[in-house]
Chain A
Amino acid sequence: MNPELDLTISRVIRAPRDAVWDAWADPRKLEQWWVPKPSVGRVVNLDLVPGGSFLTEISENKGEFAGHIDGCFLDVVPNERIVFTTALVGGWRPAENPFITAIITFADHPDGTQYNSLVMHKNPADREAHIGYGFYDGWGTVIGQLAERFEG
C-alpha cells in the first residue's frame, strides 16, 4: 500500500453477498449506481473473465454518451473478487492512458457483506490522465470542496 497513490474503502453493506455481487455483475444493475446522478451511465462491455473488456460510458446533462472506463478484467472469482485495470483494455491490449488497478472484494459479514475496494493509481504527476478520466465523477466533489473552503 502506497499512501500517496493508493486508497482503500471498506464498507459493511446490509445485504447478502450474492446480491452485492449481482449489483456488480449484472450490467443493467451496475449502470444504475456506477456514475453519480444526474449523469447517466451505460455499460457497454462487462466481460467478467480475465482479459475481458470493461467498458462504460457516461452522459452528462442528457448529452451524448462519452467514454468513462475502458479497462480489462484481470481476475474474477464470482461472489469473492473482481480485479480490473485501465492499464490494459479488453483482450490484454495495452491502454493509451493507464490510470488505475482496482481490487474489489466481497466477503460474508454478520451484518451482510464486507465490501472492500483497493484502488491503486499510476502516478500523481500524471494528472492530465486523471482529469480526462475523472473529471465527470469529480465534478460534484470539486464544487463540494470549494464550497467547504468558502464556508470554512
Chain B
Amino acid sequence: MAQYSQLDDVFQALSDPTRRTILRRLGEGSASVTELAEPFDMGLPSFMKHIRLLEKSGWIRTHKSGRVRTCSIEMTRFAMVYDWLAEQREVWESRTDRLEAFVTKENS
C-alpha cells in the first residue's frame, strides 16, 4: 500500500497546469525558481507551494546556492511511472486512431 500512497502524490503533482508547465520547462534544463515563476501571474509564496509539492512528490530536485534556488527534473520519477518507448508508442497509436477516425468520417 505504501506504493499506492506514493502514486497518490504523483497524481496530485501532475493534476495542476502550473506544475505541468514547470515540469515541461524543466524538461528543457534546470532553472531557478525566479525563472520558473516568471511566466506566472502568481505571488512567490503561492508559487513556492507548487515547487515544494513537486519536490516532495519526487518530480524535481532543488538546490540552494546563496540566494538562488535551482530546480531540476528528477528523471527517475519519470522512469518509475512510465516506460518511455511504450508511451511514445501510445502517442503514435492514438495519433493513428485519430487519423483513421478523421478519414473514415470524412469518407462515410
Contact = CB atoms under 8 A, between A and B. Distances in A.
A38 to B, nearest CB: 12
A7 B86 CA distance: 9
Interface in A21-79: 23-24, 29, 32-34, 36, 60-61, 63
B99 A7 contact: no
A139 B20 contact: yes
A19 B107 contact: yes
A94 interface: no
B94 A36 contact: yes
Q: Interface on chain A toward B: helix, strand, loop, or mixed SS?
A: helix
Contact of A132 (B17, B24, B82): B24
Interface string B1-42: 000100100110010010010011001110000000000000
Interface of B: 4, 7, 10-11, 14, 17, 20, 23-24, 27-29, 73, 75, 78-79, 81-82, 84-96, 98-104, 106-107
27 contacts: A5-B85, A7-B85, A7-B88, A7-B92, A13-B100, A15-B106, A19-B106, A20-B99, A23-B103, A33-B95, A33-B101, A36-B98, A63-B17, A119-B92, A127-B75, A127-B84, A128-B75, A130-B84, A132-B28, A134-B87, A137-B95, A138-B87, A138-B88, A138-B91, A142-B82, A145-B81, A146-B10
Interface of A: 4-5, 7, 9, 11, 13-16, 19-20, 23-24, 29, 32-34, 36, 60-61, 63, 115, 117, 119, 121, 124, 127-132, 134-146, 149-150
